[in-house]
Amino acid sequence: MANIKDLKKRIKSTRGTFKSTKAMKLVSAAKLNKAQQRIVGMRPYATELEQTVRTVSALNLDYTSVYFTERPDNRQSVVLVLSSDKGLCGGYNSAIAKAVRRLKAEKTGEQFKFFFIGKKARDLVQKEVNVGKTFKFAKVDPTLEEIRKVSDELSAMFINGEVGKVYVLYNSFLSAIAFNTTLKQLLPLVVSEQEREALKARFPFDYKYEPSAQSILDTLVPEVFITSVYTASLDAIASEHGARMSAMESASKNSKELIRKLSLKMNKLRQAKITTELAEVVSGAESLNG
C-alpha cells in the first residue's frame, strides 16, 4: 500500500505532466488556427480548378493528355501517405496505418508501393507493405515548392509508365476534434461518361478559348495534380494539430482527475495517521492516570 511520501511524489510528477500537456494543447491550438485558415482558404480554389478542368475536357472530346491516359494492364500503383513526424496526437497516425492495411487487403488486383511524408505511419506498416521513399523537408510543414517537387516525381512515374495509378492517402480536416481518413486517386484524371454527359447537359453552349482549349488544359491539368497534393498536405497538417490539441486536452483532464484522486487518498492516509496518533496519546495518558 502506498504511503504518504509515495503519494506526494506521484502528485508532483502528475502536476508536471499536467503543465506539459496543457502547454502542448495551447501550442497546438495556435498552430491549428493558422493551419485551419490555410486549408479553408485553399479548398475553394482547388475544387474550382479541378471542376474547370473536368468541364473543359468534357466539352472538348478531341482533347488528349497523358494525365488522362488509363492503363488497365498496368497493375503497379504508388500511394503517397501523409502522416506526422511526431506522436502524441491520439489516433491520427493509427487511422492512416489502418487505411494502408485496408487498401492492400481490398485492392488485391493492384501492386502498391507506398511513399511517405511523415515517419509515424511508415514505422507502423513498414514490415507489412512495399515501402518506397520518405520525403524530408526543411521545416515540419512543407512549402508549395517542396510539394511541387514531390508531385513532379510522382507524376513522372505515371508519365513514364512505371505505374498505372497514383493515389494520396491522408486525414481530411473536418473540425478541431474530427477528421476523415481519405484515399483519393490523383492519376489518371478520370471523367466518367455519366459525368461527361451531365456536364454537357449543364453547359449546352460552347466556349471561346484564347489561345486554345488544348493550350489551356495542357497548362491547367498538371496544376490540378500539384494542387491536389498540396491541398491534401494542408488537410493533413490541420488534422494533425487538431488531433494533438484534442489528445492533450484529454490528457490534461485525466491528469487533473488523477491529481484529485491521489490528493484525496493522501488526505485520508494523513487523517488516519493523525487519528491513530491521537488514540495512542489518549491511551498513554489514561495508562499514566491509572
Please report, for the domain that includes residue 258, its CATH number: 1.10.287
**What pLDDT, in 10s, does the model give residues 26-78?**
999 999 999 999 999 999 999 999 998 888 888 876 778 899 888 989 999 99
Average model confidence (pLDDT) across the chain:
90
Please report, for the domain that includes residue 137, its CATH number: 3.40.1380.10
Separation of CA 270 from chain center: 48
Q: 256 near 109, Cβ under 8 Å?
A: no
Structural domain boundaries, residue 161: 22-246
Number of domains the chain is built from: 2
Q: Flag whether 290 is in a domain.
A: no
Phi, psi of 216 (to 5 degrees): -65, -45
Same domain, residue pair 124 and 268: no
Confidence bin at 169 (pLDDT 50/70/90):
very high
Q: For the chain, how far is it from start to end, CA to CA, in angstroms?
A: 37
219-225-230 Cα angle (round to 5):
120
Q: Flag whether 61 is in a domain.
A: yes
CA distance 19 to 240: 21
Same domain, residue pair 138 and 47: yes
Decide: pTM greater than 0.85: yes
CA distance 157 to 113: 12
